[in-house]
Amino acid sequence: MIPPFRHKKPVPPPADPNDWRPQRFGGNYRSIRDAIVEPSWGGVRVLARYDGGVTLLADEEGVDCTAEFGAVAEAIAAGARAGDLILDGFLTVEATQIVAGRPLVEIETPGRGQIMTQWILGNRIGPTPATPRPQLDPDRPIAFVAVDLLRIDGTSLLDVPLLERKRLLDGSLAQGEYVRITPYVRPPIGNFLATWRGMGFTELAYKAANGRYTPDLNNETWSLVAIPMK
């Protein structure tokens, strides 16, 4: 006898927000209903935790990288418009310049911070060899690009629809040279493809407008798809 199908119980997020890790992409964009679309940023994915005037940055493994990007952490603290925030985003040079038109600088015997900077510069899936992407300028500053807001003033937003989280994000963080908020559009996106492709982006992030956030788990309401080269 075949046992009855049983749905897996949803895994609750860690009770301590300090244990949260970024949600992972796990869906197929064709199956995402009521999607919004963003350019997919390269670099280091981090959660930025702001509280009491101080920002801490931790990567996807939970490793603290605040010291390596102190200027960014200070800029997030200066731009915060709430008592505390937890932000999902990327440390990237793409927000401060996209096209540099020159080769990357090689750094001999790099320290930890330099290694992470080189990884940020190179951690992008490039387009096909027939369409070389513009080179990134390693002398430009690294910025934090916020893509989501997970907590504000002590209130978890994990069960709040994405578009509402986006609205709250816009009002909770002032933008500047080191702090940006990702743009997003609704399909159809034909008018934006050429622009984003010309800026060097090679992937798009499709996200369900009504989707919830599940720390450290694959989420079928988020999907990455390559930008067509033509």
Q: Specify the range with the lowest mean pLDDT, choosing from 26-30, 129-133, 196-200.
A: 129-133
Containing structural domain, residue 154: 26-226
Per the omega criterion (within 30 degrees of 0), is the bond before 12 cis?
Answer: no
Q: Which residue did the predictor score with more confidence, 191 or 79?
A: 79
**Residue 136 above 80 pLDDT?**
no
| Neighbour-count burial for 82-109, b at 16+ CB within 10 Å, e otherwise | beebbbbbbbbbbbbbbebeeeeeeeee
Residue 5: per-residue pLDDT: 41
**Spatial contact of 79 and 175, defined as CB atoms under 8 Å apart:** yes
Determine, yes or no, domain membership for 109: yes
Determine, yes or no, domain membership for 115: yes
Confidence of residue 107 (pLDDT cuts 50, 70, 90): very low
Cα separation of 54 and 32, whole Å?
A: 37
User: Quick one: residue 210, left, alpha or beta (phi over 0 = left, psi -120 to 50 = alpha)?
Assistant: alpha
Per-residue pLDDT averaged across 115-122, rounded? 48
Confidence of residue 229 (pLDDT cuts 50, 70, 90): confident
- pTM strictly above 0.95: no
Determine, yes or no, domain membership for 137: yes
Per-residue pLDDT averaged across 3-16, rounded? 61
Determine, yes or no, domain membership for 82: yes
Cα separation of 218 and 230, whole Å?
A: 30
Determine, yes or no, domain membership for 61: yes
Determine, yes or no, domain membership for 86: yes
Determine, yes or no, domain membership for 204: yes
Domain count, the chain: 1
Determine, yes or no, domain membership for 17: no
**Residue 132 above 80 pLDDT?**
no
Instruction: Give me the chain's average pLDDT, please.
Output: 82
**Spatial contact of 86 and 149, defined as CB atoms under 8 Å apart:** yes
Cα separation of 117 and 139, whole Å?
A: 10
C-alpha distances (whole Å) from 202 to each of 41, 42, 133 are 9, 9, 9
CATH number of 200's domain: 3.30.470.30
**Residue 99 above 90 pLDDT?**
no
C-alpha distances (whole Å) from 38 to each of 23, 128, 145, 193, 202 are 16, 21, 12, 11, 11
Q: Compute the C-alpha angle 26/224/158, nearest 5°.
A: 55
What single-letter DSSP state applies at residue 83?
A: S
Pairing mode of beta strands 35-39, 179-181: unpaired
**Spatial contact of 186 and 37, defined as CB atoms under 8 Å apart:** yes
